[in-house]
Structure 1
Amino acid sequence: MDVIQIGDIVARKSYQCDVLFRVIDIKEKNGEREAILYGEDVRLVADAPCSDLVVIDEREQQERKKREREWIEQSYRLFRQDYQAMKQKVEYRATGGYRVEKDFFQIPGRVLHLDGDPLYLRKCLDLYERIGVPVHGVYCEESEMPEAVGHLIEQFRPDILVITGHDSYSKTKGGVNDLKAYRHSRHFVQTVKEARKKIPHLDQLIIFAGACQSHFESLIRAGANFASSPARVNIHALDPVYIVSRLSLTPFTETVDVWDVLRNTLTGEKGLGGVETKGVLRTGMPFRLIANREENRHG
């Protein structure tokens, strides 16, 4: 029998070992050891008796990680196809239907990403960089986000704000519409409200908020453009990146259909939803002048 320790990668036997978790803490409860668990690939926090956990060996971890990478790569390829189509539309418009050559540059929307998990934050920042979205990431515990968000908005002046981390719904703590039954939904809701005190308009600051099983309706009512989780299902750690990257790279003259944003996420419409929102990409010219100024500045 495995002796569960902090840092172990485990799965729950009562859930047919469907999700991998990291053990982040172990406490005594009613004379039994109970582990606090963070999902390895989904934004879920859970607790479980250590007796219900099994340690996942390195071989199985690698097999699952391989399948995960293949899944992520497929989603990334679909995203890149969409982005290339958008880029061609911008080039066509900027060059007058390719009739003339024009040097132009693009300014994607800036992202401020608040995350309650530093490991997930690192994964997200790597994907933002790969896609080409300017981002500033901040690790912040979910309960501290409402107090921190106003100052961070003033400091970084983002076009898009991500408020995420871990969450979960427990039916033993209340009904599906009771925020007290959710581990961090109330913190996400309050953070959205604080952000909207700074910038009320949905097109002047785009907000994604939520994690696994979060109270979608409350987050949208609080002022989020996109949120999780309509069907109270788990969402993938990287889903916020795909949503806000699409918005960051869509021209501000275009309104993004919700389905167009969701279709290349790893979770889909059961875990994610939102309202029609304008993109924030801006195109300018001439690029040559900008490049020359940069060369002169560093020459």
Structure 2
Amino acid sequence: MEIKVGDIVARKSHQFDLLFKVTEITHNQIVYLYGEDVRLIADAPYDDLVLVDENERQKRQRTDREKVDHSYRLFRQDYQLIRQKNEYHATGGYTNNAEFFQIPGRVLHIDGDPNYLKKCLMLYEKIGIPVYGVYCHEKEMPEKIDGLLEKYRPDILVITGHDAYSKSKGKITELKAYRHSRHFAQTVRQARKKFPHLDQLVIFAGACQSHFESLIRAGANYASSPSRVNIHALDPVYIVAKISFTPFDERINVWDVLRNTLTGEKGLGGIETKGVLRTGMPYQRLVIEEEKGDL
């Protein structure tokens, strides 16, 4: 069957490992591809592609949903433990009956892909994290980051989109061989000029196959991708969730952050970081609900 723009395909040369949507077919039969579940834009010869039927697509989608649900359940377990611990401390060991409230870390999520951003925003909402989502092309991020930080004043910054390593452009250690790692690193450095302290603004940066070392050196707390593998579209959200709901006076072990992600330590890494959650009392229902409406 003929492959057309909009079709879902897989690559023979990669053992049909990922599903892609066809976004463009050139006159010389090079096909541009957009990852369905991973943050990856790729290209492939027309002859390397096979159409994926609806049954196979649904089967893959079910498997992906199961992974996402598993990560969400792990996060909810962690969150309940954190909340119980915070409640115990806030009430003096349950000796005080006063209700308390919590202010999780506020997130600015800048994404080079509007569709992935939409998926992430839905998960932020489901988890209960206050977030501002901004679509911005990766090349424009370094120029726009100052204005966005000034406008939204986040506790946590997410810088992501598309990336990929190209062997034909250089060695795996060379930044020039990556699609957008340089732009991510420039954006992180610019953000660190404004917020130099690693616990004043917590930063996640990177996408599929990103140059992990350069992003950490630039000042990111967490980044992708240590083993240059693809990361799941929702991985940044689970990293942010752990930070957002951990109290500001507690340090987060890196593994505690990575274990709830879909990709794990091959695709994600970072440094020890403090949480940003703050607890207060007494709880004033009307005031808190009004504040939530402004987030």
Same fold (TM over 0.5): yes
Q: 1:107, 1:282 within 8 Å by CA — same for their partners in 2?
A: yes
Out of 173, 197, 200, the position equivalent to 1:204 is: 200
Q: Which residue of 1 aligns with 2:25?
A: 26
Q: Which residue of 1 aligns with 2:169?
A: 173
Question: What CA deviation, in whole Å up to 9, does each residue of 1:130-189 have, x standing for no partner?
Answer: 111000111111111111111111111110000001111111211011111111111111
Out of 81, 84, 98, the position equivalent to 1:85 is: 81
Specify the code of the residue in structure 2 equivalent to 1:210.
G
How far apart are residue 86 of structure 1 and its match? Answer: 0.6
TM-score relative to the length of structure 2: 0.95
How far apart are residue 24 of structure 1 and its match? Answer: 2.1
Specify the code of the residue in structure 2 equivalent to 1:100.
N
Q: Which residue of 2 aligns with 1:73?
A: 69
Specify the code of the residue in structure 1 equivalent to 2:223.
A
- SS of the aligned residue for 1:35 comes to strand
Within 2, Cα distance between the matches of 1:53 and 1:165? 24
Q: Which residue of 1 aligns with 2:249?
A: 253
- SS of the aligned residue for 1:287 comes to coil
How far apart are residue 229 of structure 1 and its match? Answer: 0.4
- 1:292 and 1:139, CA in 2 relative to 1: closer, same or farther beyond 3 A? closer
How far apart are residue 294 of structure 1 and its match? Answer: 6.4
TM-score relative to the length of structure 1: 0.94
Within a 5 Å distance, the mapping from 1:90-105 to structure 2 comes to: 90-105=86-101
Aligned length: 291
Q: How many percent identity over aligned positions?
A: 70
Q: Which residue of 1 aligns with 2:15?
A: 16
How far apart are residue 4 of structure 1 and its match? Answer: 2.5
Q: Which residue of 2 aligns with 1:233?
A: 229
Q: Which residue of 2 aligns with 1:5?
A: 4
- 1:286 and 1:58, CA in 2 relative to 1: closer, same or farther beyond 3 A? same
Q: 1:38, 1:166 within 8 Å by CA — same for their partners in 2?
A: no
- 1:271 and 1:91, CA in 2 relative to 1: closer, same or farther beyond 3 A? same
Within 1, Cα distance between the matches of 2:166 and 2:287? 58
Q: 1:42, 1:234 within 8 Å by CA — same for their partners in 2?
A: yes
- 1:87 and 1:293, CA in 2 relative to 1: closer, same or farther beyond 3 A? closer
Q: Which residue of 2 aligns with 1:291?
A: 286
- 1:292 and 1:166, CA in 2 relative to 1: closer, same or farther beyond 3 A? closer
Within a 5 Å distance, the mapping from 1:141-152 to structure 2 comes to: 141-152=137-148
Moved more, 171-180 or 214-223: 171-180
Q: 1:167, 1:185 within 8 Å by CA — same for their partners in 2?
A: yes
Q: Which residue of 2 aligns with 1:186?
A: 182
How far apart are residue 27 of structure 1 and its match? Answer: 2.5
Specify the code of the residue in structure 1 equivalent to 2:181.
S
Question: What CA deviation, in whole Å up to 9, does each residue of 1:228-262 have, x standing for no partner?
Answer: 00011111110000001110111001011100000
Question: What CA deviation, in whole Å up to 9, does each residue of 1:202-228 have, x standing for no partner?
Answer: 111110000111000000000000000
Out of 155, 161, 174, the position equivalent to 1:159 is: 155
Q: 1:106, 1:283 within 8 Å by CA — same for their partners in 2?
A: yes
Specify the code of the residue in structure 1 equivalent to 2:109.
H
- SS of the aligned residue for 1:195 comes to helix
Specify the code of the residue in structure 2 equivalent to 1:115.
D
Unaligned regions of 5+ residues in structure 2, if any? none
Task: Say yes or no: does 1:138 pair with 2:134.
Answer: yes
Runs of 4+ in structure 1 off by over 3 angstroms are: 292-295
- SS of the aligned residue for 1:125 comes to helix
Unaligned regions of 5+ residues in structure 1, if any? none
Q: 1:168, 1:183 within 8 Å by CA — same for their partners in 2?
A: yes
Within 2, Cα distance between the matches of 1:243 and 1:294? 26
- 1:172 and 1:42, CA in 2 relative to 1: closer, same or farther beyond 3 A? same
Q: Which residue of 2 aligns with 1:62?
A: 58
What value does the CA root-mean-square deviation take over the aligned residues? 1.5
